Amino acid sequence: RLTPTQEKIWKTKKTDMTRQQQIAQRKKEKMDRRRRKRRRQKQQKVIDDYDEEDEEYISGPTMEGQVVD
């Protein structure tokens, strides 16, 4: 029986990915996750900004320095 770590190493040895490729892959996945999370948060914010009663956006995207009343 292999320990989880050994199993991981054994599995990675079986694949023909080099160490560099693995690092790059992991980094890419991490960035993708972060990007997806940010996108979800943005979408949520837009939903939060939507006022059900008035059926219009309370605070839409505003340009820098533009005053919203």
> What is the reported pLDDT for 19?
78
pLDDT in tens, 16-47: 667 788 888 899 999 999 998 888 887 777 76
pLDDT of residue 20: 80
d(CA 11, CA 2): 11
C-alpha 49/C-alpha 55 separation (Å) is: 10
Tokens 């996945």 belong to residue? 29
Lowest mean pLDDT among 6-10, 15-19, 63-67: 63-67
The model carries a pTM of 0.36
pLDDT at residue number 41: 80
What is the spatial distance between Cα 31 and Cα 23, in angstroms, rounded to a whole number?
12
Instruction: Provide the percentage of residues in the chain whose pLDDT is more than 90.
Output: 12
